[in-house]
């Protein structure tokens, strides 16, 4: 069924109001906490969403790990399998998410955008050429001291508005919808405690970037922690005695290929990314993420780290290096290629919303990658934000309006199947 003017006006107003409300709540995750969820403040948004869904008459539960599960029964006569719509609660710890103040820049003119709380910070088409596609549109940023949180509160707003639309306009047909909002996606733990029995047979994450993006391929991902244990000796008497763990860690990193780093790679090129370096003469630690689109190439990167361990331990007798490498997620293309209809329906839904689909491989990860390997094929659909994880993060207002339309269209296509 084609969306009416009344429906579109409701979507426009509801999605914007929700987004502006949600981004003001600090949901930064914390990979150092060792808890689930990693930060208790994520419950503030999750509990608000629970209350809002209950006010719509939707069955909803929030568990002890901060996962929200909600169910909208299928429309009368619809026999399609249940579908999950998924977005994540947390925002990246890379930039503060505390006291976010969203700013709407009306009728963008194609030039520079300034930030009220940091006049020296500038967003322009040089940073993000996509801005030029939204001349005349309203653009939202934060005020200059925080990220915005469109990753992934734009996705949450889209899914919540979609639920509100189905409740208000019952003539729109849909299968059973199972909503799931997850904590800690930004630190790689979005599905760590998920209950897949509460999800549908197929899923869609709303966690992508530019309007029109549909992603069914992502990085193969590993994490590496390399610990150097040396020997400290008074520097005045250290010749042939000291084993400087921090200095050797720096040399170790310098041995890695410079052109396999995030700042030197794009499209389908993989990398080593040094997240953190810490320590002193006695002990030092390097923490990496390792990314590529082919698992075999990532395994070669792991082999290189272990080869360097052997080399440095031989070069510096008495030095001890511990290399810990863990798989984080796999490229979900190998799963989604076996269920092409799931992605095909998303592409058609984007076209139905009057948007040209953009097929991209995610230079990152998504809860959908892990869910796909857990038996729930889950491609990733745009939420509309750009320059995620930065103070320059931005989103055009039209983006989450279109994301709602795409979600409704996906449901329509499955309902008619």
Read off the pLDDT of residues 326-337 as tens digits, 9 standing for 90 and up: 988 889 998 999
Specify the 3-state DSSP secondary structure of 243.
Answer: strand
211 shares a domain with 285: no
pLDDT of residue 285: 98
- The arithmetic mean of pLDDT across residues 86-111, rounded, is 96
89 shares a domain with 143: yes
Element (H, E) at 175: none
190 shares a domain with 282: no
Stated pTM of the model: 0.87
pLDDT of residue 31: 86
Distance CA 315, CA 262 (A): 29
Q: Name the band, by pLDDT with cuts 50, 70 and 90, for residue 208.
A: confident
Neighbours of 133 (CB within 10 A): 11
Read off the pLDDT of residues 7-16 as tens digits, 9 standing for 90 and up: 999 999 999 9
The mean predicted confidence, pLDDT, of the chain is 95
302 shares a domain with 350: no
pLDDT at 243 over 80: yes
Domain residues for the domain of 323 are 220-329
pLDDT of residue 417: 83
Residues with catalytic function:
90, 185
Domain tally, the chain: 2
- The arithmetic mean of pLDDT across residues 34-45, rounded, is 96
Return the percentage of the chain with pLDDT > 90, whole number: 92
Task: Mark which of 310, 329, 348 sits at the end of a domain.
Answer: 329
227 shares a domain with 120: no
- Cα three-residue angle 57-60-65, rounded to 5 degrees: 160
pLDDT of residue 149: 97
Which domain CATH number covers 290? 3.30.70.360
pLDDT of residue 363: 85
- The residues with which 336 forms a beta bridge, in sequence order, are none
277 shares a domain with 358: no
């Amino acid at each position: 069924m084609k969306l009416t003017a009344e429906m579109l006006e409701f979507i426009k107003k509801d999605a914007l109001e929700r987004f502006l409300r949600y981004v003001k709540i600090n949901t930064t995750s914390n990979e150092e906490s060792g808890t689930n969820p990693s930060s208790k403040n994520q419950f503030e948004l999750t509990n608000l969403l629970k209350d809002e869904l209950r006010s719509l008459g939707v069955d909803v539960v929030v568990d002890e790990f901060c996962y929200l599960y909600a169910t909208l029964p299928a429309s009368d006569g619809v026999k399609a399998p249940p579908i999950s719509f998924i977005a994540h609660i947390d925002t990246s710890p890379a930039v503060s998410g505390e006291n976010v103040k969203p700013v709407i820049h009306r009728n963008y003119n194609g030039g520079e955008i300034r930030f009220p709380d940091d006049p020296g910070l500038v967003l322009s088409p040089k940073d993000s050429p996509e801005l030029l596609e939204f001349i005349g549109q309203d653009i939202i940023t934060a005020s200059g001291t925080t990220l915005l949180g469109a990753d992934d509160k734009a996705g949450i707003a889209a899914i919540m508005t979609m639920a509100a639309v189905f409740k208000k306009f019952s003539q729109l047909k849909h299968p059973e919808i199972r909503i799931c909002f997850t904590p800690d996606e930004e630190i790689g733990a979005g599905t760590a405690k998920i209950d897949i029995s509460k999800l549908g047979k197929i899923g869609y994450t709303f966690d992508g970037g530019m309007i029109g993006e549909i992603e069914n391929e992502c990085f193969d991902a590993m994490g590496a922690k390399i610990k150097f244990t040396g020997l400290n000796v008074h520097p005045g008497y250290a010749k042939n005695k000291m084993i400087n763990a921090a200095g050797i860690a720096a040399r170790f990193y310098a041995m890695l290929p410079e052109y396999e780093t995030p700042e030197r790679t794009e499209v389908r090129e993989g990398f080593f990314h040094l997240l953190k370096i810490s320590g002193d003469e006695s002990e030092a630690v390097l923490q990496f993420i390792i990314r590529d689109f082919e698992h075999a190439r990532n395994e070669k990167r792991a082999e290189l780290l272990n080869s360097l361990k052997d080399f440095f331990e031989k070069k510096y007798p008495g030095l001890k290096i511990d290399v810990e490498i863990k798989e984080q997620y796999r490229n979900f293309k190998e799963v989604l290629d076996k269920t092409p209809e799931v992605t095909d329906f998303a592409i058609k839904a984007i076209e139905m919303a009057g948007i040209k689909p953009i097929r991209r491989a995610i230079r990152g990860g998504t809860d959908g990658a892990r869910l796909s390997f857990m038996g729930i094929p889950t491609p990733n659909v745009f939420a509309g934000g750009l320059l995620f994880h930065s103070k320059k993060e931005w989103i055009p207002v039209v983006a989450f309006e279109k994301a709602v339309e795409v979600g409704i269209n996906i449901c329509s296509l499955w309902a008619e199947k």
